[in-house]
């Protein structure tokens, strides 16, 4: 089945700890995105990548980092600099030249 796989489904972070959220897609999409979703707010863009080895900051990139070493993979690291990391994180992808994004099932991150 083609799709976007996010793991883990639930993640807990201790104070001062960095954690990495995984996003893998087998849709052969060129572009990948990370969003943060908080209750009562729309999706906010953290980072996006149009091609391998290149990525751009979104609206709320502070305290996050990404890499894009492979077309299929776009992991997100939530660093200790992100003081309010508790949220639902969504990964999405789209094909080149298309404005339509498809989403994974999400990772819920909480702070211990």
Q: Residue 19: name the closest of 60, 67, 79, 62 by CA.
A: 79
- Toward another protein, which CB reaches closer, 61 or 80? 61
**Could you tell me whether strands 54-57 and 64-66 are parallel, antiparallel, or unpaired per DSSP bridges?**
unpaired
CB of 81 to another protein, least distance (A): 25
**Binding residues for another protein, per CB under 8 A?**
4, 6, 33, 40-43, 45, 88, 90, 99-106, 108
CA separation for the pair 106, 33 (Å, rounded): 12
In angstroms, what is the minimal distance from the CB of 104 to another protein?
Answer: 5
Q: Which is nearer to another protein, 4 or 19 (CB)?
A: 4
């Amino acid at each position: 089945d083609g799709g976007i796989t996010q793991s883990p489904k639930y993640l807990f972070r201790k104070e001062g700890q960095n954690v990495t959220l995984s996003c893998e897609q087998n849709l052969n999409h060129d572009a990948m995105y990370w969003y943060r979703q908080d209750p009562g707010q729309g999706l906010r863009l953290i980072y996006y990548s149009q091609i391998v080895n290149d990525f751009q900051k979104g609206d709320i990139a502070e305290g996050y980092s990404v890499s894009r070493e492979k077309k299929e993979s776009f992991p997100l690291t939530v660093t200790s600099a992100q003081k309010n990391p508790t949220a639902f994180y969504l990964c999405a992808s789209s094909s080149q030249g298309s404005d339509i994004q498809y989403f994974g099932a999400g990772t819920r991150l909480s702070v211990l």
